[in-house]
């Protein structure tokens, strides 16, 4: 039985966030991430040619879970789904966007911050939420959120690095969304995709070896 997108994200604990300025850069980045062991990527819709990029990456990497990020409204959600996105991530909480994803039976992970937003997203039908931006709040904030709302799964996004990834997982994050510390646009422009692959492998190692509290 094939795992659902959320099951796969829970299993691997990592989603690589890609904002590329060209289709060539996108392809090389995805290849490097895949070779480094990443199995879920988010192509942001503010990437030029994002929808065609989603279609193309799904064809080239059928083993890879391809999602769409920076989904701002229900129409963008529908277009991303029709392009083949297996899951959606949003920076904000919007009921109509969640309803569209649920209508197509595609998982959506909306961006939230406060306890009220977390519970509201859950009541709208989201099974996992994105705590964003988490960088100025830290792992303790995440564990504090999980206290009164333990039944809502969380993805920590914003400022996740090799140095703090394990801390967020141990604080209760089901997954991490990783942007510039993994897919650095400077590395893409320089063509240093081997460094992206190396970073990907290191994040995968951390996710696999982190000791979660009992």
**Residues 149/118, Cβ–Cβ less than 8 Å:** yes
The predicted structure's pLDDT at residue 23: 85
Which is it for strands 111-112 and 175-178: parallel, antiparallel or unpaired? unpaired
The predicted structure's pLDDT at residue 28: 95
Query: Which comes out higher in pLDDT, residue 2 or 17?
Result: 17
**Residues 174/129, Cβ–Cβ less than 8 Å:** no
42 catalytically annotated: yes
Residue 172 has pLDDT above 60, yes or no: yes
Residue 50 has pLDDT above 80, yes or no: yes
112-131: average pLDDT = 98
**Residues 149/190, Cβ–Cβ less than 8 Å:** no
45-53: average pLDDT = 94
Residue 212 has pLDDT above 80, yes or no: no
* Per-residue confidence band for 1, with pLDDT thresholds at 50, 70 and 90: very low
130-150: average pLDDT = 95
CA distance 76 to 35: 30
* CATH number corresponding to 5-209: 3.20.20.70
How much is the mean pLDDT over the chain? 95
* pTM beyond 0.85: yes
The predicted structure's pLDDT at residue 213: 62
User: Is 117 exposed, middle or buried (CB count within 10 Å of its CB: 0-12, 13-18, 19+)?
Assistant: middle
The predicted structure's pLDDT at residue 214: 55
User: Which one from 13, 130, 153, 197 is the annotated catalytic residue?
Assistant: 130
**Residues 108/102, Cβ–Cβ less than 8 Å:** yes
95 catalytically annotated: no
Domain ranges of the chain: 5-209
User: Which one from 8, 13, 42, 153 is the annotated catalytic residue?
Assistant: 42
């Amino acid at each position: 039985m094939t795992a659902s997108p959320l099951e796969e994200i829970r299993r691997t604990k990592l989603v690589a966030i890609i904002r590329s300025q060209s289709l060539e850069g996108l392809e090389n980045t995805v290849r490097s991430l895949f070779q480094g062991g990443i199995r879920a990527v988010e192509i942001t819709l503010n990437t030029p040619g994002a929808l065609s990029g989603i279609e193309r990456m799904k064809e080239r990497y059928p083993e890879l879970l391809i999602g769409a990020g920076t989904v701002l409204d229900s129409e963008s959600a529908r277009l991303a789904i029709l392009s083949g996105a297996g899951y959606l991530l949003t920076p904000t909480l919007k009921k109509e966007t969640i309803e569209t994803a649920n209508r197509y039976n595609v998982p959506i992970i909306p961006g939230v911050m406060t306890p009220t937003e977390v519970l509201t997203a859950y009541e709208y039908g989201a099974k996992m939420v994105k705590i964003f931006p988490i960088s100025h709040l830290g792992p303790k904030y995440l564990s504090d959120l999980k206290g009164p709302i333990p039944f809502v799964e969380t993805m920590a996004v914003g400022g996740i690095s090799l140095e703090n990834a394990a801390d967020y997982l141990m604080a209760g994050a089901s997954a991490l969304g990783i942007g510039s510390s993994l897919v650095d646009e400077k590395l893409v422009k320089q063509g240093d995709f081997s460094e992206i692959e190396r970073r990907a492998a290191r994040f995968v190692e951390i996710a696999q070896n982190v000791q979660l509290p009992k």
